Chains A and B, each alone.
Chain A
Amino acid sequence: MNEVFDASETSRNGGKSRREALECMVWAGAGVLWTVTGGVPHSRLIGAAEAATESDATFSFLQISDSHIGFNHPPNTDTPGTLQAAIALVNAQKSNAGLMIHTGDVSHLSKAKQFDTADQIIRGARLDTHYVPGEHDVLFDDGKAFFARFAPKAPRGWYSFDQAGVHFIALNNVQNFKAGGMGNLGADQLDWLAKDLEGRSASQPIVVFAHVPLWTVSEAWGWGTADAGQALTLLRRFGSVTVLNGHIHQIMQKVEGNCAFHTARSTAFPQPAPGTAASPGPMKNVPPGHLRAMLGITKVTRVRTATPLAIIDTTLAA
């Protein structure tokens, strides 16, 4: 981490630094630009032409997900190491970033030591970090240990805040799973969301983040949230809604109405695309040297032209 910090110092002294090289790679990578014009969002792939727009960015933030500290099986027996690599990448990319979000499964088995290891590494980003739990973080005691450490002001895991004109909403959809079902928000949380959005201007950009996707990626694997429709109905009147999730350890994205959905890569291990394997378990047979190309972080940037958010995913191999 210090190494990357030094590199950014070097860039100020002129010359093609490592940091600049990394940023070029960021924009060369796959990304989607969500543009809202007259309330109608359009998505398109980002090409080299958009590379210049990052310098116009007025606000950005980073997303990491599914660090699974404590997981120690193929294809990754060093999840602290890959989380550290992700944080190094965050430090290389953060420039104007205002905050970071972690979309859950910080730990593999909800153990205090796993939370502690993750916490120490993530603090290396020196960014205000906002967490939501994954199901692996609340395996015992209703997740009390997770909430005490990572969301002390939100004992049930849901909360909201405003930053740089964007309204951020953190949701918890990983508790009280029902047999045969998927992720679940529950009536209490939906009531809270309705109150949180009441009277809010429809022109304020909204960013919602939660662990399990708020759209059904695969019902057979439980990759969805049973009552997400009720939350999305409450969000329908807003002109720009960005929904960021984790859980499925791969990038999936879609635009529906005014709502852009995006899932992030894990920093620990990849999972198969729906229907391509017998189970959603970790992909074990990753060719040597290929793991880091299947892990990554996400950067979301608000670009000054119109009111879009650009979502950029970068692998740890970048």
Chain B
Amino acid sequence: MTRIKYAAILTCALLLTARTAFAADARVTIDNFKFSPAQLVVDAGTRVIWTNQDDMPHTVVEATAAPTISSPALDTGDSFAHVFTKAGTYQYYCSVHPYMLGTVVVR
């Protein structure tokens, strides 16, 4: 049943993606308390979409004193997107499970 739910959400997300025509999309899944891939390299203008596939809530928060990337708590199946416009290395973590770390490198 859960799998069907994921599939439905993914299909919706894919349809939306197709319509909004971003330069490119890249995906990060959150599974087993890990961001996967933990390091993502993208071109400027890429929209990155994180999807939580765990039974526990997670967040995506930039690891800086004043984060500009900050998701709400993502329940099972929820997604969060951010468009990276500037080149640089962006480190982020889950503010609920702070040992969960990830990086987006924007070229």
Q: Give the dominant DSSP class at B's interface.
A: loop
- Report yes or no: A281 in contact with B56, Cβ–Cβ below 8 A: yes
Verify if B98 is at the interface (C-beta below 8 Å from A).
yes
In the complex, which residues 155-193 of chain A have their Cβ closer than 8 Å to any Cβ of chain B? 177-182
B32 and A279 within 8 A (CB)? yes
Task: Indicate if A222 sits at the interface (CB-CB under 8 A).
Answer: yes
Q: Judging by beta carbons under 8 Å apart, are B98 and A282 in contact?
A: no
**B73 & A109 in contact (Cβ 8 Å cutoff):** yes
Query: Is B25 an interface position by the 8 A CB rule?
Result: no
Contact B98 A281 (CB under 8 A): no
* Interchain CB contact under 8 A, A178 and B72: no
Closest to A277 in B: B32
Among residues of A, the one whose C-beta sits closest to the C-beta of B100 is: A222
Which bucket holds chain B's interface residue count?
A: 20 to 34
Q: Interface residues of A: mostly helix, strand, loop or mixed?
A: loop
Asked if A73 lies at the interface with its beta carbon under 8 angstroms from chain B, I say yes
In contact, A73 and B98 (Cβ under 8 angstroms): no
Asked if B55 and A222 sit within 8 Å, CB to CB, the answer is: no
Q: A108-B57, A110-B73, A140-B72 are in contact. Are A180 and B99 (CB under 8 A)?
A: yes
- Bound-state Cα–Cα, A170 to B75, Å: 29
The one of B33, B72, B75, B99 that contacts A281, using a Cβ cutoff of 8 Å: B33
Q: How far is the CB of B53 from chain A (nearest CB, A)?
A: 11
Q: Which of chain B's residues 69-107 have a Cβ closer than 8 Å to chain A?
A: 72-73, 75-76, 91-93, 95-99, 101
Report A-chain residues with C-beta under 8 Å of the C-beta of B33: 279-281
A-B contact pairs, 27 of them (CB 8 A): A73-B55, A109-B57, A109-B75, A110-B73, A136-B96, A139-B57, A139-B59, A139-B96, A140-B73, A177-B96, A177-B98, A179-B63, A179-B92, A179-B98, A179-B101, A180-B93, A180-B101, A181-B98, A182-B98, A182-B99, A219-B99, A222-B99, A279-B32, A279-B54, A281-B54, A282-B55, A282-B56
Binding site for A on B (CB under 8 A): 2, 32-34, 54-57, 59, 61, 63, 72-73, 75-76, 91-93, 95-99, 101
Q: Which residues of A come within 8 Å of B, CB atoms?
A: 71, 73-74, 108-110, 135-136, 139-140, 177-182, 219-222, 278-282, 284
